[in-house]
Structure 1
Amino acid sequence: MKVLVTGGAGFIGSHIVDQLLADGHEVVVLDNLSAGSRANLPTDVKVIEQDVASDLTPVFAKERFDAVIHQAAQVGVPDSIRDPLHDASVNINGLLQVLEACRKYAVKKIVLASSAAVYGTPIELPVSEEHPLIPLSPYGLTKKTGEEYLRIYQALHGLPYTILRYANVYGPRQSLSRESGVITIFTDRLCRGEMPTIFGDGTDTRDYVYVEDVARANLLALSGGDNQIFNVSTGSAVTLNELFFALTDVLNDQREPCYGPPRLGDIRHSTLANGKIRRAFGWKPSVSLAEGLRRTVEWVKSQS
């Protein structure tokens, strides 16, 4: 199968490329390299350096893709609040460019990266796919809107899709220079001898899923789960305090955490149910938090 991975030079996208290649697929990457890097990819992978919000029909006309895995996105919640126009340009207009090209050139399947941000403040935990969608940021809203566009394109044009709502993804290749996930931030600062700040009392919880497990879910979605939505998560709640001490154990660092005031708008607790994807694909998280942190620490150290 010939697969286009938008944002394929980025954090999650590059791991998806690795797994697609290992599974024998032909892969093309489209990435403007604003956040991604060619260094994340094998040298023989074709990279089209182009913005996803531009006209993609010449690319699709030439390459004739069988499927698209759409990872290209503006992913920063604070960035979406500061600049909602840019957020919408990438996350809505970019998706529409992809969908229109898929429609015109008979792509057989699209897999969309969505986010736990579509849910907003959880009413109950763990959050299932049927939970109400009440996003709290422009980022969450554009992800919710993107999901609706896929539903409409399937209904109007018969384009099959699968939507994957990611929990907090972490692992090697997550950017150290841009706004990163908390694990990468904590790891980078601890490795540099600095002390990261835990906002609040450290009892806030998140669901941390390793990037290779997320990539595997994308690979499975190419051949199943048509016109369905799945959480990609561990289903386990980890407090910030637990995360901090798990990292310091890996680093053999005996320092105590530094606390700051809670941040306005932060959700206290978020855990996503993963029973649906387990039943549909037989998928389950295979990398434990301890092992994932060890691999992440090794990667961060290798970047210094």
Structure 2
Amino acid sequence: MNILLTGGAGFIGRWVTKRLLDDGHQVWVLDDFSNGSRENVQEFQQHRGFKEMVVGDIKDESLLTRLFASHSFDICYHLGASINVQDSIDDPRTTFNNDTVGTFNIMEQCRKHQVKVVFMSTCMVYDRCTDEEGITELHPTKPASPYAGSKIAAENMVLSYYYAYNLPVVVIRPFNTYGPFQKTGGEGGVVAIFINNKLAGKDLNIYGEGTQTRDLLYVDDCARFVVEAGYSDSVNGHIVNAGLGRDISVNDLAKLVVGDASRIKHVPHIHPQSEIQKLLCNYSKAKDLLGWEPKVTLEEGISRTEEWIRTGYLI
């Protein structure tokens, strides 16, 4: 198939690019490198299925018009977005324009050209988990940050194109994804930051009390979920979760990573109002509709990620 992947030079996007190429598709990546980097897709540039690295912005309607008119896309995997919670609190306009208005621009092109849309949302749209069954797609949402609010707005717009225009769409909500190629600095994920600090001999800083829990999904499992959501008609018109189905407190995660409690420090929370105290995924819908379930345990995923960081980002 001919596939457009927005945000394909980002962390998860890099793994989705790899899987689509491995599956034999022709892939066009659209990215402005605001979150991603050219290095993430460098290894694919010579692949015969990698058609073009389009450097551009999803808010650029003339670029999108030319791109969709020039290629007959079968699927658009829309991962391009502003993804940082704190950035959205500091500058909500940028996040809204990228995540909501940008998504509208993509939807309009996909409507005109009858292209299926896989829209990458986030578990951050949910209210805290209240039981051990985990968060299903029917769980209440709570936009505790402008990032979550922008994603919920975009989700609803994406689904409206399914109902109003019969356009095949699916909204996917992966839980906290981690693994090789994730940034290890301030904008990275908690696993990558903890491992990087461990290897650098630094303390592991935890915001707040550290009792908040996360459901951590290894990136290769996440990419497999993303890609298969595009292949299947069974999820059209649906919202679908993906996660490990196991949560861990940030305190216990830090101990798992570093092993030495004396290197773990607690610091004041920078955005306590946007913290979700408990995140635990119920992925039974993905299992029922896609036959998907995670394959990589948390311990194995952490080991793979540490090996990647330790060896200087070679994989």
Interval containing the TM-score (normalised by the shorter chain): over 0.9
Match of 1:179 in 2: 187
Match of 1:147 in 2: 155
CA deviations 1:219-246 (Å, max 9, x no partner) are 1111221111111101101111221122
Residue 273 of structure 1 deviates from its aligned partner by 0.8
Match of 1:221 in 2: 229
Alignment of 1:1-304 (within 5 A): 1-41=1-41, 42-44=44-46, 45=50, 46-55=52-61, 56-107=64-115, 109-125=116-132, 126-224=134-232, 225-249=235-259, 255-262=262-269, 264-265=272-273, 266-303=275-312
Residues 48, 262 of structure 1: alpha-carbon distance in 2 compared, 3 angstrom cutoff? closer
The whole-number CA distance in structure 2 between the counterparts of 1:6 and 1:173 is 17
The worse-fitting range, judged by mean Cα deviation, of 23-32 and 265-274 is 265-274
Could you say what secondary structure the match of 1:147 adopts? helix
The whole-number CA distance in structure 1 between the counterparts of 2:34 and 2:153 is 23
Residue 120 of structure 1 deviates from its aligned partner by 2.8
User: Partner amino acid for 1:231?
Assistant: N
> In 2, are the aligned partners of 1:120 and 1:134 still within 8 Å (CA)?
yes
The whole-number CA distance in structure 2 between the counterparts of 1:270 and 1:254 is 24
User: Partner amino acid for 2:248?
Assistant: V
CA deviations 1:74-114 (Å, max 9, x no partner) are 0011111110100011001110111111111221x110111
User: Partner amino acid for 2:123?
Assistant: A
Residue 122 of structure 1 deviates from its aligned partner by 3.4
The whole-number CA distance in structure 2 between the counterparts of 1:221 and 1:279 is 12
The worse-fitting range, judged by mean Cα deviation, of 86-95 and 265-274 is 265-274
Residue 123 of structure 1 deviates from its aligned partner by 4.4
- Which blocks of at least 5 consecutive residues in structure 2 are unaligned? none
Residue 173 of structure 1 deviates from its aligned partner by 0.8
> In 1, are the aligned partners of 2:92 and 2:146 still within 8 Å (CA)?
yes
- Which blocks of at least 5 consecutive residues in structure 1 are unaligned? none
The worse-fitting range, judged by mean Cα deviation, of 122-131 and 267-276 is 122-131
CA deviations 1:16-42 (Å, max 9, x no partner) are 010111111111100011221222121
Percent sequence identity over aligned pairs: 36
Residue 50 of structure 1 deviates from its aligned partner by 0.4
The whole-number CA distance in structure 1 between the counterparts of 2:172 and 2:222 is 9
The whole-number CA distance in structure 2 between the counterparts of 1:247 and 1:170 is 13
Residue 260 of structure 1 deviates from its aligned partner by 2.5
The worse-fitting range, judged by mean Cα deviation, of 260-269 and 41-50 is 260-269
Residue 301 of structure 1 deviates from its aligned partner by 2.3
> In 2, are the aligned partners of 1:35 and 1:175 still within 8 Å (CA)?
no
The whole-number CA distance in structure 2 between the counterparts of 1:255 and 1:296 is 23
Residues 121, 146 of structure 1: alpha-carbon distance in 2 compared, 3 angstrom cutoff? same
The whole-number CA distance in structure 2 between the counterparts of 1:124 and 1:6 is 35
The whole-number CA distance in structure 2 between the counterparts of 1:271 and 1:135 is 17
Could you say what secondary structure the match of 1:100 adopts? helix
> In 2, are the aligned partners of 1:3 and 1:26 still within 8 Å (CA)?
yes
Could you say what secondary structure the match of 1:172 adopts? coil
Residue 151 of structure 1 deviates from its aligned partner by 1.3
For the aligned residue pairs, the C-alpha RMSD in angstroms reads 1.6
> In 1, are the aligned partners of 2:186 and 2:193 still within 8 Å (CA)?
no
> In 1, are the aligned partners of 2:35 and 2:82 still within 8 Å (CA)?
no
Could you say what secondary structure the match of 1:207 adopts? strand
The whole-number CA distance in structure 1 between the counterparts of 2:161 and 2:291 is 28
TM, length-normalised to structure 1: 0.94
> In 2, are the aligned partners of 1:165 and 1:230 still within 8 Å (CA)?
yes
